[in-house]
Amino acid sequence: MTAQEAVVRPAGRPRSEKAEKAIVEATLDLLGEGVGITELSIESIAAKAGVGKTTIYRRWSNKEDLVVDALATLKPPVPEAGGLSVRDDLIAQLDVMRSEADHVRTRCVMNIAMSESDRYPHLFEKFRKTAIEPRRRVLKGIIERGIASGELCADLDPDLGMAILSGTMIWHTKWAAQDEFGPELAVRIVDQVLAGLAP
């Protein structure tokens, strides 16, 4: 093997997945304990994760970028639309929203984070692009497919359809009693909305 063919190691220490996971979990734990983003510090995250501040700064240039990545881990992968029926695909998407809200820490962290969105517009713009927009694209695609196939009204505004569906789920998971949003909630919402939207 020639020198040119040899694999060159990157400079510095190799990244530790264990350290990254500990840092992200420490960030979420602190937010889940009620620490606001303003009060959250790299020092407190490092102490809770059991790492040095330099370990964090090697991976994230600032607190906001770390918070964005931490929040993004709370969002499960966007399920692919199965394509069998618009109803089934809508139920699958809404059920992901319901399952996210089913976890107390996730709900608490997102509530705290969203309450500070005005203070950290850059952070929430990045989070929107990273975690929210991919979900919106999938949901909008399902609705547009339903319009094209005749499963939904031809004159339905896809953005308004998304707001009706996701807004109803968000209202239930944020304001309704915990026992009111069981596994059948997504089915109930979709069927009720489709009864009003279907031709």
Confidence at residue 178, expressed as pLDDT on a 0 to 100 scale: 59
Confidence at residue 45, expressed as pLDDT on a 0 to 100 scale: 96
Confidence at residue 36, expressed as pLDDT on a 0 to 100 scale: 87
110 contacts 74 by C-beta, under 8 angstroms: yes
Confidence at residue 177, expressed as pLDDT on a 0 to 100 scale: 62
73 contacts 24 by C-beta, under 8 angstroms: yes
> Which superfamily, per CATH, for 17-72?
Homeodomain-like (1.10.10.60)
Residue type (1 letter), 192? Q
Q: Which residues of the chain have pLDDT under 50?
A: 1-13
Confidence at residue 11, expressed as pLDDT on a 0 to 100 scale: 44
Residue with tokens 């990273």: 130
156 contacts 197 by C-beta, under 8 angstroms: yes
CATH number of the domain located at residue range(s) 77-104+120-197 in this protein: 1.10.357.10
Confidence at residue 106, expressed as pLDDT on a 0 to 100 scale: 77
Q: What pTM does this model have? A: 0.73
32 contacts 105 by C-beta, under 8 angstroms: yes
What are the residue boundaries of the structural domains of the chain, listed by start?
17-72, 77-104+120-197
Q: How far apart are CA 104 and CA 110, in angstroms?
A: 10
Say how many C-beta atoms besides its own lie within 10 A of residue 46's C-beta.
19
CA nearest 109: which of 46, 21, 24, 172?
24
Say how many C-beta atoms besides its own lie within 10 A of residue 23's C-beta.
25
Residue with tokens 């009060």: 39
